[in-house]
Structure 1
Amino acid sequence: MQQLIQLIMVVVILLITGCDKTPPNQLEKIKQKQVIKVGTLVGPSNYFQSQRAEQGFEYELSQHFAQYLGVHLQIVPFFSLTELFERLNSGDLDLAASGLSYHPLREYRFGPSYRTVSQKLVYKQGRVRPRSFADIDAPIIVIEGSNHALSLEKIQYEYPSLEWQTTNNLDEEELLQAIIDEEIDFTIADSHTLALFRRYHPNVSIGFSVTQTDHVAWALRDDHDDSLYALLMPFFESMNNSETLYALEEKYFGHINEFNYVNTLAFVEASNDTLPKYRAWFEEYAGELDWRLLAALSYQESMWNPRAKSPTGVRGIMMLTQPTAKQVGVTNRLKPEQNIRGGAKYLQKLIKRIPKNISQPDRTWFALASYNVGWGHVNDARKITKQQNSDPDSWAEVKKRLPLLIKKRYYRKTRYGYARGDVAIQYVDNIRRYYDALIWLDENGALNTSSDK
């Protein structure tokens, strides 16, 4: 009997202590599992699988947050915004990191804003440009549950006859493609998504801005659990203070801020009409380089014109100087095969010259800038960057200092003196845009592969 009483007391004590135990909060659950689950929409500005690895602005930003927490990242990709929100609501995700902008009608907790975008009314070049919703004469198609749909709900009060529909079957890039294919007449896209898409589809045009400044932030469930939410502010503060956030912005969006319709259209046309004549040589002599990078460099230099010539005597499809041509074994700069082989060899030499502690893709961007203004001037800009207590091995940081080489108070203290560093920045940005476009065109089977050398 005594043993039975003792057993009952033990059970009661366990029940009492069990009742007093507070269930773990969200952060504690993450720490226990050593994994944070982040949902994102698949796309070029969020998350995508390249031939080498997973990439994307939101993906890398989430990686940094996982490291900040001391846990592993589990990225959960979605093709539907509705499904993303459903999984977030169910508790299956810790947060949504997908370029989402704050809206007061959304029943979520948004972290600190780390980017701003604007919503653009989009149509295909060739139709009369709409300058307001009063000019819209066909339905606007937007993604179900998106901020674009919320904007249209509000605008409907001012324009009651406005026609618009939502879809859950297409993502933002597919809607833009539907504009190109003339399957729909109008859609609304965020400015950064549109800028990425227009690199290879210049016929997508902007009618007008629907919003001016939307604040992009991560979304969490509004369940009164502050444990994870409370860490977002110090995390983004550390990302800003270390300029890591700026470096990520530059990596994915720094080269797409400017858009020129005529130049982009000419590039896309030349990719199909002119590039096939020389593609085999770009592929043959690229070596460890991506042949599409070599081709992008060549287009920036000569627009794939084998007889191109500058006033300073630089010549050929890769625009080699006479001393450089001699250095890389080119005897006739007007012969495109020789010139491509020499340009590839020279770029490879430049990349090898970049300090080994500089990682990719920054090594390539430094090398491209050196192809334009010379490694000496680029290294001068790195020294200025270091003097200003920033990272000389970061292209994002050195990019800010290269324009200083046109100012006497800076270049007079450098080894190699004056240089058009501002031109070098534009030069690298252009090549990165062309390179991005060639990757997309190639991987989507949109490049003409027939050659006629």
Structure 2
Amino acid sequence: MPSNVYKKRLKLQLIIILSIAVMSCGVPSVPTALSSLLERETIRVGTVYGAGTYYNGANGPQGFEYELLAGFADYLGVTLDLYPFYSYEVMLEQLEEGNLDIVATGDAVTPSLEERFAYGPAYQYVKQQLVFQAGAKKPDDISALDAPIIAVAGSSQEYMLSQLLDKDYATSSGPTSNLITTEDSDSEELLQQVANSNITYTVADSNRLALQRRRYPNLAVALTLDERMPMAWAMPLTQDDSIKAALIEYFGTVHESGWFTVLEEKYFGHIRQFDYVDSRAFNYAAETDLPQFKNLFEKYAGDLDWRLLAAMSYQESHWEPDAVSHTGVRGMMMLTLDTASDWDVNDRTDPEQSIRGGSRYFASLLSRIPARISEPDRTWMAMAAYNIGMGHLEDARVLTERQGSNPDLWVDVKRRLPQLKQKKYYRTTRYGYARGDEALQYVENIRRYYDSLMWLDEQGKI
């Protein structure tokens, strides 16, 4: 959900909007959808379960769509009543019957859906991609596949495929066999089934695919079927435009405030790039090498999540106790001689000493990040400092502020890190040249490894 600063901005914006409406139009004699919602002090929202939409995590409800919805409820000053569904069509029927105010499917908008529902503003655009298993024969044409495509019933993928395949629902002849729909699996499960060789093809949007490829690196893109499909929230077609107007103002405000960019960065910023070889190697190492060190990471993690510490160690050394870099740093946490001395590490190649020293050093960096910076930004900045030093991190934050952005947001600071190796910028900084692009990649890699470790841990694989 938004930080307190963003919440205050959103609520102030709403007060101004409603005040203008009252002054210009007077109190409406006929209640609008928005006024009815505000009067009952709740907004009823439907969504579907998924990593990118809504799920119950270790720290409570999570998901990109969930946080956007919670932000909208805060914006209106009402309680969020969230109803998760397993079926697209059942959820949409509930919207049509007036039992829901908004539906956030995390799915793209299609022309057929626009005939049934009203939509708020598009807040993201996704690609629709035909997915198969890496190593299998890559198809060249969707109309000449050697196996059917499995898609979720009622999804944007079903609509798009039916159009591409010229599917005739009234007959069972023709290209019908090229598309099979199901209500027993969601899009994420279908991707898992492709990865496990249970099915040959499915179609997924680029957001869901990016999330799942960290877990199943053998997922590959055969064809991009649509380059740009909008994502938006649906409302009843017969409803007046008052809630739609509030949505337009809300999304305008969260974009202007920068909160939408922060949220998008949180869920998708570190997974847009994909490395098949690295992902497979990491998952294999997590299941084979990590177990012998897991107890040490747990023992010395302190207030940190041990899986985050383990992810850092993999980025540093690939969990190799004798690892050494060209700069002379050594061990599982790649400590310099000076850092090792500061944290009582006598043998940098001893796994326990290295993990203990690295954990304490990282905790010290974390404590030096200004208290006003909230999580997870504090952690990502401390991580960058672990790689290039606190001084260079501060240089990047200074550059961020000079350029009119927020030095307390990772999404803004990370864009300035590569400038630390550009003479135009580093000659104006206190600590000079640094390989800031490497620090950025360092943090993004660890975030991906951390995501994978959390999932592997939940699956009982580590």
TM-score, normalised by the number of residues in structure 2:
0.90
Cα deviations by residue, 1:247-304 (Å, 9 ceiling, x for unpaired): 1111110000111111100001101111111111011111111110001000011111
Distance in 2, matches of 1:39 and 1:343, equals: 45
Cα deviations by residue, 1:217-262 (Å, 9 ceiling, x for unpaired): 1111111411101122222111111111111111110000111111
Q: Work out which of the residue numbers 254, 263, 273 in structure 2 matches 1:239.
A: 254
Secondary structure of 1:109's aligned partner? strand
Partner of 2:92: 85
Partner of 1:373: 388
Distance in 1, matches of 2:163 and 2:143, equals: 15
Distance in 1, matches of 2:117 and 2:349, equals: 62
Q: Work out which of the residue numbers 39, 50, 53 in structure 1 matches 2:46.
A: 39
Partner of 2:16: none
Cα deviations by residue, 1:104-125 (Å, 9 ceiling, x for unpaired): 1111112111111111111122
Secondary structure of 1:141's aligned partner? strand
Distance in 2, matches of 1:135 and 1:418, equals: 54
Partner of 1:146: 155
Q: Percent identity?
A: 48
Partner of 2:112: 105
1:1-80 equivalence runs, <5 A? 23-80=30-87
Distance in 2, matches of 1:396 and 1:432, equals: 13
Partner of 2:339: 324
Secondary structure of 1:210's aligned partner? strand
Distance in 1, matches of 2:296 and 2:379, equals: 20
| 2:102 alignment partner AA | L
Cα deviations by residue, 1:105-156 (Å, 9 ceiling, x for unpaired): 1111121111111111111223211122134111111001001000111112
Distance in 1, matches of 2:436 and 2:65, equals: 30
CA drift at 1:164: 1.1
8 Å contact kept, 1:314–1:322: yes
8 Å contact kept, 1:317–1:339: yes
Secondary structure of 1:213's aligned partner? strand
Distance in 2, matches of 1:158 and 1:442, equals: 42
1:206 corresponds to 2:206 = no
Partner of 2:141: 132
Unaligned runs of 5+ in 1: 1-20, 448-453
Distance in 2, matches of 1:158 and 1:93, equals: 31
Q: Which moved more, 1:62-71 or 1:209-218?
A: 62-71
Partner of 2:352: 337
1:191-340 equivalence runs, <5 A? 191-340=206-355
Distance in 2, matches of 1:303 and 1:96, equals: 43
Cα deviations by residue, 1:50-86 (Å, 9 ceiling, x for unpaired): 1112111111111221222122222222222122212
Distance in 2, matches of 1:439 and 1:351, equals: 21
8 Å contact kept, 1:100–1:219: no
8 Å contact kept, 2:321–2:332: yes
8 Å contact kept, 2:143–2:165: no
Distance in 1, matches of 2:253 and 2:458, equals: 37
| 2:91 alignment partner AA | L
Distance in 1, matches of 2:383 and 2:44, equals: 37
Q: Describe the shift of the 1:200–1:100 C-alpha distance in structure 2 as closer, same or farther (beyond 3 A).
A: closer
Cα deviations by residue, 1:331-372 (Å, 9 ceiling, x for unpaired): 000111110111111111111111111111111111111111
Distance in 1, matches of 2:90 and 2:452, equals: 30
Distance in 2, matches of 1:287 and 1:131, equals: 52
1:177-188 equivalence runs, <5 A? 177-188=192-203
CA drift at 1:182: 2.1
CA drift at 1:23: 5.0
Question: Number of aligned pairs?
Answer: 427
Q: What is the alpha-carbon root mean square deviation over aligned residues?
A: 1.5
Unaligned runs of 5+ in 2: 1-27, 169-173
TM superposition outliers: structure 1 runs of 4+ over 4 Å = none
1:407 corresponds to 2:404 = no
1:166 corresponds to 2:181 = yes
Q: Which moved more, 1:113-122 or 1:159-168?
A: 159-168
Distance in 2, matches of 1:34 and 1:132, equals: 52
1:398 corresponds to 2:393 = no
| 1:65 alignment partner AA | F
Secondary structure of 1:73's aligned partner? strand
CA drift at 1:178: 1.4
Distance in 2, matches of 1:158 and 1:169, equals: 21
Structure number with bigger Rg:
1
Secondary structure of 1:75's aligned partner? strand
Distance in 2, matches of 1:38 and 1:373, equals: 45
Partner of 1:123: 132
Distance in 1, matches of 2:424 and 2:219, equals: 44
